[in-house]
Amino acid sequence: MDKATELNLNFALNSYENRSLTDSISIATEELKYKFMSIQNYREAVNNSDLVDQRKSRNDFEFEEEYPDHPLAEKNRHRRIIAGDFFWYLSGAVELSQIPTDTIKILEQSLYDCCAAVRLRVVQALGRWRSKDSLNNIIALVEVENESKMVKGASEEAIIAINDNNFKLDDSKYLKNPAAPFLD
């Protein structure tokens, strides 16, 4: 195992207290589903006044205190972001064939998470894995993504990578620190 692969695997496994790879994948898969809401359902709920638009809030802590069950409350989205980070690191350490099919389906669902940081990490992971089965979902994401230039750019690069094995992905141009998904 080369140093980069070992580092990615260590980061991934440290996300869930050095549990086994199988257990960590299972935990991260469940975390991606925690308070999940698609961006489309989020927009509809906000438009129908069923949900408050978190993006208009200036203070995460006050927002979370007032709306603890909101899918974009800090503690809720953070769990999904950590899971997305886990799969991003894992995609640099293990082959896609080691990922259960049901997990890949959850990753594809998470391409449409109402949290852009989750969408970013998931599309980066699927692009790194060159997941041909995810290609149509990633193409669809490019067509609907209008909130994050980073997600759109990473999605476009994932499509190229999936179609061209010689294409080198460069996640660093979307993030100042690839280990921390802060968005524009």
Lowest mean pLDDT among 55-64, 92-101, 172-181: 172-181
CA dihedral 131, 142, 182, 147 (to 10 degrees): -160
pLDDT value for 8: 65
Q: What is the pLDDT of residue 174?
A: 57
- The predicted structure's pLDDT at residue 92: 87
Dihedral pair phi/psi, residue 54, rounded to 5°: -60, -30
Q: Three-state SS for 38?
A: strand
Q: What does the pLDDT read at residue 115?
A: 96
Q: Domain residues of the chain, as ranges?
A: 3-173
Three-state DSSP class for residue 41? helix
pLDDT in tens, 131-159: 999 999 999 999 999 999 999 999 999 99
Sequence-distant (≥ 6) Cβ neighbours of residue 18 within 8 angstroms: none
